[in-house]
Chain A
Amino acid sequence: EVHLVESGGGLVQPGGSLRLSCAASGFNFNTYEMNWVRQAPGKGLEWLSYISGAGLSIYYADSVKGRFTISRDNAKNSVYLQMNSLRADDTAVYYCARTAPDWFAPWGQGTLVTVSS
């Protein structure tokens, strides 16, 4: 069964950093593109970043470009999101999602990031 599990969320002060991880299982990880999507409390979905299977192609939303970095370790079947210079409006549930082939399926259960002093 295809499974994605995020971790690394928590409470962080404004200006701080956090690294999210997403562990994948049940599929040939290095052949799939991966994404991060977030959802602020009570709000809609916002796509953040994409990484190709080999990690050679990467895209970001303008809202996180220059602050967030996506990466992957195919040997560990994991994708990461390094988040720097965090702001209050980065508070959200962060999901990783597989691109299969152009759509998000499946999604992980999400990890909550709260940016507050």
Chain B
Amino acid sequence: DIQMTQSPSSVSASVGDRVTLTCRASQDISNRLAWYQQKPGKAPELLIYAASSLQSGVPSRFSGSGSGTDFTLTISGLQPEDFATYYCQQANSFPLTFGGGTKVEIK
């Protein structure tokens, strides 16, 4: 099984900050990676797919990069509605797996 490791597990940031979240796969997954945002009590929502493609309707301050085993999600200019938990997920092979999540908190 492919293990997905996210770091940090939590980060404190202020509105307007640039935040970078990291996701590492235990083996090469090419660009078969997605990022999701989850707010408390809500279902996750797709932000980024294929490592760097922005899902329709997602603000352009979100961007993704990486390939192989190392990936990043960057939020450029953090907004109040961005405080949430972010998960990465690999779609390279079954079983599909998620990272443990990174919680972005208000400083």
Contacts and interface: CB of A to CB of B under 8 A. Distances in A.
Contacts of B100: 44
B34 A104 contact: yes
A35 B95 CA distance: 12
Q: SS class of chain A's interface: helix, strand, loop or mixed? A: strand
B87 A106 contact: no
Contacts, number: 56
A45 B89 CA distance: 9
Interface centre among A44, A46, A103, A106 (most CB of B within 10 A): A103
B94 A95 contact: no
Interface string A41-74: 0001111001000000001111000000000000
A102 B49 contact: yes
Tier of interface size on chain A: 20 to 34
Given A102-B49, A104-B89, A44 B98 contact: yes
Interface string B80-105: 00000001010100111111110000
Interface of A: 35, 44-47, 50, 59-62, 95, 102-110
The 9 closest A-B pairs by CB, nearest first: A107-B43, A105-B46, A102-B91, A47-B96, A103-B49, A103-B34, A45-B98, A59-B94, A44-B101
6 contacts: A35-B96, A44-B98, A95-B43, A102-B50, A103-B89, A104-B34
